[in-house]
Amino acid sequence: MNDVRPQEPLDRVELRHLRAFLAVAEELNFTHAAGLLRMGQPALTRTVRGLEDALGTRLLERTTRRVELTDAGCRLREELAPLLSRVDTALRSAGSEPPVLRLGFTSVLPQACAEFAHAFKAATGAGVRLVRRDTPLAGLTSGACDIAVVRGDIPPGAAVRSRLLLHEPRIAVLARDAPELAGRRVVDWPDLADLPLVVNTVTGTTGPELWPEDRRPRLACTADNFDEWLEAVAAGHGVGVAPEPVARRHSHPSLRYVRLKNAPPVAVRLAVPARDAHPLAERFLGQFREGSSG
């Protein structure tokens, strides 16, 4: 008699299933997630469905327009992200590679953070790998990075701990031939309420809600990544507002920049998972605290 235990559904779950789910949970877009994983979208869809079948629950709600996490999907994402990060670290340490801290960011890494990265490498001997992700937490919730630079507010309900790094001034960005603010080099923040606004809804830091409720700019259009936002402003759809270091780093022949006065600054934070943060990430935060106190 062959005494072979029948395969349980969870026995079919592999790392590729978990990585696929976390990529979609971070991007909330199968096409973007497939690009990050360098696989076809149909294969990614089958992989995620295989995980849902094995778990016996729906993790994602899909429509023709959007992808959203279910309650079960939210719980799984929060549990998996730090665990997979530790798995990756264990696999690397089993080989000959030196330890590496993955530092996530969105559009531009602040100069102060780059300086801390150099000091961290000198103090620990660990490498720092920069990871760019156009998501609200720069890949932190998907396990793509161990610590992330986050501009603006932390998304509500995000299972992270954060520490304020610095503040950045805002600057207005307009099409070069736009009649709005023609000849102006400086504009008062309240005056922008009279202009149509282009908003980056994923990694942007400025929306109409920053103005008083009785005098807010009209939303001209939205974009879901920085490059689309930049092109929408260059096309003259409206004015854009961004942290000054971010805007000025991206030169564009069809754009001009106008300084703002009385604009609320943009908070820049370092964020790590609320639980089971990578030890190197904790060390980086500790170094930042010591370095910023002097």
Which residue in 165, 168, 145, 167 sits closest to 289, CA to CA? Answer: 165
Q: Are 163 and 136 in contact (CB under 8 A)?
A: no
pLDDT for residue 294: 34
Q: 């109409």: which residue's tokens?
A: 208
pLDDT for residue 293: 36
Dihedral angle, C-alpha 196, 198, 201, 205, nearest 10 ° = -90
Strand partners for 257: 173
Q: Which residues in 119-138 are b (16+ Cβ under 10 Å) and which e? A: ebeeebebebeebbbbbbbb
pLDDT for residue 92: 66
Give me the phi and psi of 44, to 5 degrees please: -65, -45
Q: Does the global pTM surpass 0.85? A: no
User: Could you tell me the end-to-end alpha-carbon distance of the chain, in angstroms, rounded to an integer?
Assistant: 73
pLDDT for residue 162: 92
Q: 């949970």: which residue's tokens?
A: 25
* pLDDT, mean of each 10-residue run, the chain (294 residues): 57 86 87 85 91 91 84 87 75 69 91 85 88 89 89 89 94 92 92 96 94 95 92 95 91 92 96 88 76 39
Which residue in 234, 184, 233 sits closest to 204, CA to CA? Answer: 233
* Helix runs in the chain, H state only: 15-27, 30-37, 41-55, 71-94, 111-124, 226-234, 244-249, 279-292
Q: Are 33 and 24 in contact (CB under 8 A)?
A: yes
Q: Name the percent of the chain in helix, strand, coil, to the closest 5.
A: 40, 25, 35
